[in-house]
Amino acid sequence: MSTMRHHHPIRPLRSRGLPMCQHRMRPHRGRILFSALCVLVLGFAVPAGATKYAGAFMENGGGARALGMGGAFTAVADDPSATFWNPAGLAGLDSRELLVMHSERFGDLIDRDFVAYTQPVGWNIFGGDFSGFGLTVIRLGIDDIPFTDHLAAALDDPANGGNGDGVVDDDELGGLFELQDQIQYKSDQEFAFMASYGEQLGKWQVGGTLKVVRQSVGQYSSLGIGADVAVMRPRLWRRMDLGIKFQDLTTTYLSWDSDEGRNEIIAPAVVPGLAWNQPLPEWKMRFTLAADFETRFENRRTADQYHLFGNVTTNVHLGGEVAFSEKVFLRGGFDSGWEAANLTAGAGFHLNPLTVDYAYAGDALDIDEVTHRISLSIRF
């Protein structure tokens, strides 16, 4: 019986970040091998032209309030996080406000920050009634990523037990034990800088966001520019609000400065959303139920929740909020984003001019995978 050998082509690694393969402290011998194997296998498994999850660090958005509602915020978008969820919502903001959010995943291996500043403005580009402007920074950082692509030739070297055939075979990966001192540790830093504007035109609100995306992994870096366009229609029917975001409308291109001249694209997406607001003045309460349908056209297949037809897939986001005297808030939701199917929950407390929000996200299939997010906003 013949034995099948699996060959891994030798390619330089340019991953955006491999959460299960990073350690902030230098790991012991076994963890070094495990981390390096993850980087090798995943790095080789992704073709040089792969673009399916380009810019994925932006997909989670920001604001613990919105994330506690499962990311169902396109038709709500009434706080500074509207710069991400629906910039048309900026037309409805009546004060200057700053929102800051920090979150960590896999312990403290992945740090993510979201900062948004918004304010009403006195000029209306389209001759409407009210308008607002916002600036946003999204950052994701991963430190101490083990890079092993420079060791490929050494692993294949007969002097180190390799067979010298120009590829790294499965039985040659054990040589990482001997080369662990040569493993290089680098960082992944990803930024999005966004400028947003929203304006009210009659019963509709319209808005847009211009964004610059900057990523760096080790010695490689990329730069891209994109745009979102969005609309909102409060009280579309009774107490139901409508929101639609056309994300990366013109396609966002990320150009890498690697030797291969690799380019990635962030394909357009459409995110329609509905929200129902039900006040109960006799109880000094308010209920909000919301749903978003994040629809993409790049054939993500099983990476998204539902495959509709052809290349069209969608993720459903569901959420709710109960407000008590607009001071205390309880939230819950379901987020079927690209990372996992998450059950979400959250709470908030408002004492003018400060608001503190907390969001919890737990993987529906893995109770040990939990993400906590805290955001603070201040009006002035």
Instruction: Report if residue 51 sits inside a domain.
Output: no
pLDDT at 161: 65
> Higher model confidence: residue 239 or residue 260?
239
**Same domain flag for 135 and 173:** no
Mean pLDDT (whole number) for 215-225: 86
Let me know: does 87 contact 209? Beta carbons within 8 Å.
yes
Q: What is the CA radius of gyration of the chain?
A: 23
**Same domain flag for 319 and 178:** no
Instruction: Report if residue 108 sits inside a domain.
Output: yes
CA dihedral 26, 30, 35, 36 (to 10 degrees): 100
pLDDT 10s digits, 24-44: 334 444 444 344 434 433 333
Mean pLDDT (whole number) for 239-264: 87
Let me know: does 152 contact 176? Beta carbons within 8 Å.
no
> Higher model confidence: residue 53 or residue 12?
53
Within 8 A by CB and 6+ apart from 58, the residues are: 84, 138, 192, 213
- The angle formed by the CA atoms of residues 210, 216 and 219, to the nearest 5 degrees, is 150
d(CA 163, CA 160): 9
Least confident piece of the model among 288-297, 302-311, 318-327: 302-311
Residue 361 in this model has a pLDDT that exceeds 80: yes
**Same domain flag for 17 and 156:** yes
pLDDT at 354: 97
Least confident piece of the model among 149-158, 346-355, 370-379: 149-158
What total of structural domains would you count in the chain? 2
pLDDT at 341: 65
**Same domain flag for 159 and 308:** no
What are the Cα distances from residue 379, in Å, to 35, 90, 96, 255? 44, 14, 6, 38
127, 157, 182 — which closes off a domain?
A: 182
User: Domain range holding 40?
Assistant: 7-46+149-182
pLDDT band at 302 (very low <50, low <70, confident <90, very high): confident
**Same domain flag for 162 and 300:** no
Pairing of strands 269-280, 312-324: unpaired
**Same domain flag for 25 and 69:** no
**Same domain flag for 153 and 138:** no
pLDDT 10s digits, 150-207: 666 666 666 666 666 666 666 656 656 566 666 777 778 899 999 999 999 999 999 9
Let me know: does 29 contact 138? Beta carbons within 8 Å.
no
pLDDT at 44: 36
**Same domain flag for 80 and 172:** no
Q: What percentage of the chain reaches a pLDDT higher than 90?
A: 50
Instruction: Quote the mean pLDDT of the chain.
Output: 80
Instruction: Report if residue 173 sits inside a domain.
Output: yes
Mean pLDDT (whole number) for 221-235: 95
Say what the pTM is. 0.78
Least confident piece of the model among 20-29, 53-62, 226-235, 274-283: 20-29
Residue 343 in this model has a pLDDT that exceeds 70: yes
pLDDT at 304: 82
**Same domain flag for 103 and 170:** no
Instruction: Report if residue 2 sits inside a domain.
Output: no
Residue 340 in this model has a pLDDT that exceeds 70: no
In which residue are the tokens 């992994």 written?
217
Instruction: Give first-to-last CA distance, the chain, whole Å.
Output: 76
In which residue are the tokens 């929740």 written?
305
3-state secondary structure the chain: CCCCCCEECCCCCCCCCCHHHCCCCCCCHHHHHHHHHHHHHHHHHCCCCCCCCCCHHHCCCCCHHHHHCCCCCCCCCCCCCHHHHCHHHHHHCCCCEEEEEEEEECCCCEEEEEEEEEEECCCCCCCCCCEEEEEEEEEEEEEEEEECHHHHHHHHCHHHCCCCCCCEEHHHHHHHHCCHHHCEEEEEEEEEEEEEEEEEECCEEEEEEEEEEEEEECCEEEEEEEEEEEEEEEEEECCEEEEEEEECCCCEEEEECCCCCCEEEECCEEEEEEEEEEEEHHHCEEEEEEEEEEEECCCCHHHCCEEEECCEEEEEEEEEEEEECCCEEEEEEEECCCCCCEEEEEEEEEECCEEEEEEEEEECCEEEEEEEEEEEEEEC
What are the Cα distances from residue 370, in Å, to 75, 141, 340, 344? 26, 18, 11, 10
Residue 276 in this model has a pLDDT that exceeds 50: yes
Let me know: does 173 contact 152? Beta carbons within 8 Å.
no
**Same domain flag for 34 and 139:** no
In which residue are the tokens 């607002």 written?
132
**Same domain flag for 231 and 104:** yes
